[in-house]
A and B are shown apart, each in its own frame.
Chain A
Amino acid sequence: SQELEQSPQSLIVQEGKNLTINCTSSKTLYGLYWYKQKYGEGLIFLMMLQKGGEEKSHEKITAKLDEKKQQSSLHITASQPSHAGIYLCGADGSGSEKLVFGKGTKLTVNP
């Protein structure tokens, strides 16, 4: 199954700053998923990437999947306190493999 490594493990930024979170896979990714989790809550789906070189944006969050489909990045522009939480990348294999997650990146945005 996939093994996913996220970096950094935690990140503290000042409001208004840009930031990037990375997710690297041990295998070629079939589907790469980004989720956000706030303390004590469930996972909120952000974006799904499937094609090499794909890039998707929603509001101030952009996710990219590299051409080799082994690395994804999540970029937040002009961060706000509402962006704070734990960001998790998940991936499944060739359609029938289970969805596994990285250990998460804890983001703190100071006003």
Chain B
Amino acid sequence: GAGVSQSPSNKVTEKGKDVELRCDPISGHTALYWYRQSLGQGLEFLIYFQGNSAPDKSGLPSDRFSAERTGGSVSTLTIQRTQQEDSAVYLCASSSYYNGYTFGSGTRLTVV
């Protein structure tokens, strides 16, 4: 597609449940990022995929968080046993060397 697509746009889940957030990057973009933005806060880096290299997972806040990128394209961010502090907007971005970074509209996660 023309932009970065994220789904769902909104997700309400019960505490303790697992959730999966999806990001469909721009075709041909080699790099893919996940960020988290809590209310009134800046963007917190979570994880970064670049081509076939091992992902940079240094921003994942706990082992409940994981992400994968299949076939160098679609990525899924999984949060296990969700907690209320996981409530935030999760943003995905993709980039190529020449075209900068394009962000999706985000998934608003609410843990109740």
Contact = CB atoms under 8 A, between A and B. Distances in A.
A45 B45 contact: no
Given A41-B105, A42-B106, A103-B41, A98 B48 contact: yes
A88 B104 CA distance: 16
B12 interface: no
A99 B41 contact: no
A103 B101 CA distance: 18
Interface string B22-34: 0000000000010
B109 interface: no
Contacts of B104: 42
Contacts of B108: 40
**What is the interface residue range for chain B against chain A?**
20 to 34
A46 B1 CA distance: 21
Q: What size tier do the contact residues of chain A reach?
A: 20 to 34
Given A95-B97, A96-B50, A98-B56, A42 B103 contact: yes
Contacts of A78: none
A33 B99 CA distance: 12
28 contacts: A31-B100, A33-B101, A35-B103, A40-B89, A40-B108, A41-B105, A41-B106, A42-B91, A42-B103, A42-B106, A43-B103, A45-B100, A45-B101, A45-B103, A88-B43, A90-B101, A96-B50, A98-B45, A99-B33, A99-B45, A99-B48, A99-B95, A99-B101, A101-B35, A101-B42, A102-B42, A103-B42, A104-B43
Interface of A: 31, 33, 35, 40-43, 45, 48, 88, 90, 95-96, 98-104
